[in-house]
Amino acid sequence: MKLNTDLSRIKSRRCDNKDIEKTVRAILDDVRANGDTAVRKYAEQFDGFKGKALEVTQSEIRTAVGNVGADTMRILERAAKEITEYHKNQISKPWEITKPNGAVLGQIVRPIGRVALYVPGGTAAYPSSVLMNAIPAKLAGVKDIAIFTPVKQGGKVSGTILAAASVCGIEKIYKVGGVQAIGAAAYGTQTIPKFDKIVGPGNIYVATAKRLVYGTVDIDMIAGPSEILIIADENANPRYIAADMIGQAEHDTNASSILVTTCKKIIDQTEKELDLQIEILGRKEIIRQSLENFGAVVLVDNLDRAFEISNDIAPEHLEILTQNPRELLSKVQNAGSVFLGEYTPEALGDYMSGTNHVLPTCGTAKFYSPLGVYDFVKFGSYSYYPKRALGGYKDDVVKLAQLEGLDGHAKSVAIRFEKEG
């Protein structure tokens, strides 16, 4: 298939929608006003939930663990081990310095108190998202963690999601997804407590809801449709390139797959491979539409230009398929997660490498980071000054306060050096 060569449509791809925002606001307002009644109403309307209890029972979790089988549990535990090994390096530590004048300054690190993990699970189940969200939160020391995920057909939460929750030691799981889940977590209901932060990927309705409740509650990021950009030289394998582009395109019709290469032959061969590989896949109609809508190929004169384009787009996933990919890492300025070499496919990062797959999209990698342990802690500063140390700054602090017209500030320092009576 022939791919678009114009990036303007992709670069202008929006991750929000005014009509969707109107719908989302109405649901959020209803949940805030009517609590559990509204949550149950929308859970039934959108997900087919017909029960009364919004929380998964421990019996349901044990049953799910037994039903998924030993091999699935082994894989989930292996993935959890890899994710833990990577993310434990992100743990922040407090620090303190003592100055020669006796002043002590430092920083404290405290976990966020209560965190909601959103896990997609309606038409498809994503146990990997449980691991990616829960493990960094656990490493940060968050004590109160709950999963929000929709029920599948039959009114039950996906067994693989419950199994992944068990691997992570998460026992509180709500049978609620979509906008109503975000509203319940942000505002609280009669049975669901208000949370301090909401993290995790979701569709455009979930992403919009997270954006609208930000401020009432913290969020990780506003994520849009998935995307990949591949930088390739003449040594790259077109079969691998096509497979990796398809891997992103199968997410949904708004996913973006871009190839930037120094070799025209690579483009021609990749386009042929796309046709060959798509035909044997179950989601081929979604893949074709995605590639037609937001797929692209760009021929450049050199790799420096390729990285200029990539840094401007700031892709969620960046693959570097060149002869010496690690030597080019320094050229990456903006990307959610970088995959170096032909045997580091993006799908490895989705499941098993240990890096997080909750990533910034739609160009937000210019200022957002992948989900990590640092998202589940907050930092505070502290200081201790003995009188002699404050005395060394007294006059300058008083002067600055007076320059700003804040006489009370000035007096609060000066008074400590005045004689009483």
Side chain identity at residue 107, one-letter code:
Q
Task: Give the whole-number percent of the chain exceeding pLDDT 70.
Answer: 98
Distance CA 107, CA 96 (A): 6
Decide whether 8-14+225-353 matches 18-219 in CATH topology: yes
* Backbone torsion region of residue 214, taken as left when φ is above 0, otherwise alpha when ψ lies between -120 and 50, otherwise beta: beta
* Catalytic-labelled residue, pool 87, 251, 317, 357: 317
Cα angle, residue 201 at apex, residues 138 and 356 outer, rounded to 5°: 50
Domain limits, the chain: 8-14+225-353, 18-219, 385-417
Dump pLDDT digits (tens) for 348-362. Answer: 999 999 999 999 999
Phi, psi of 253, deg, nearest 5: -70, -10
Angstrom distance (rounded) from CA 242 to CA 244: 5
Q: Please choose, from the candidates 80, 251, 53, the residue with its C-alpha nearest in 3D space to the C-alpha of residue 157.
A: 53
Regarding the domain delimited by 8-14+225-353, which CATH topology (the fold level of the hierarchy) does it fall under?
Rossmann fold (3.40.50)
11, pLDDT greater than 80: no
Annotated catalytic residue 317 = yes
Q: What is the model's pLDDT at position 169?
A: 96
Distances (CA, A) of 139 to 112, 360, 369: 12, 21, 18
Residue 304: is its pLDDT beyond 80? yes
The pLDDT score that the predictor gives to residue 14 is 60
**Residue pair 219/246 in contact by the 8 Å Cβ criterion:** no
Superfamily for the 18-219 domain: Nitrogenase molybdenum iron protein domain (3.40.50.1980)
pLDDT in tens, 158-182: 999 999 999 999 999 999 999 999 9
Q: Say whether pLDDT at 9 is over 90.
A: no
> Torsions phi, psi of 354, nearest 5?
110, -25
Residue 224 structure tokens: 């849009």
Distance CA 291, CA 245 (A): 8
How is residue 102 written in tokens? 């006796």
409 is catalytic: no
Arithmetic mean of pLDDT, 28-57:
94
Q: Which tokens is 222 given? A: 């506003």
Quote the pLDDT of residue 203. 87
Across the range 381-395, mean pLDDT stands at: 97
Q: Residue 16's pLDDT is what?
A: 59
Please pick, among 316, 319, 342, 346, the residue that the annotation labels catalytic: 316
* The pLDDT of residue 125: 82
Q: Give the model's confidence band at 123: pLDDT under 50 very low, under 70 low, under 90 confident, else very high.
A: low
Confidence category of residue 153, pLDDT binned at 50, 70, 90: confident
- 156 band by pLDDT with thresholds 50, 70 and 90: confident
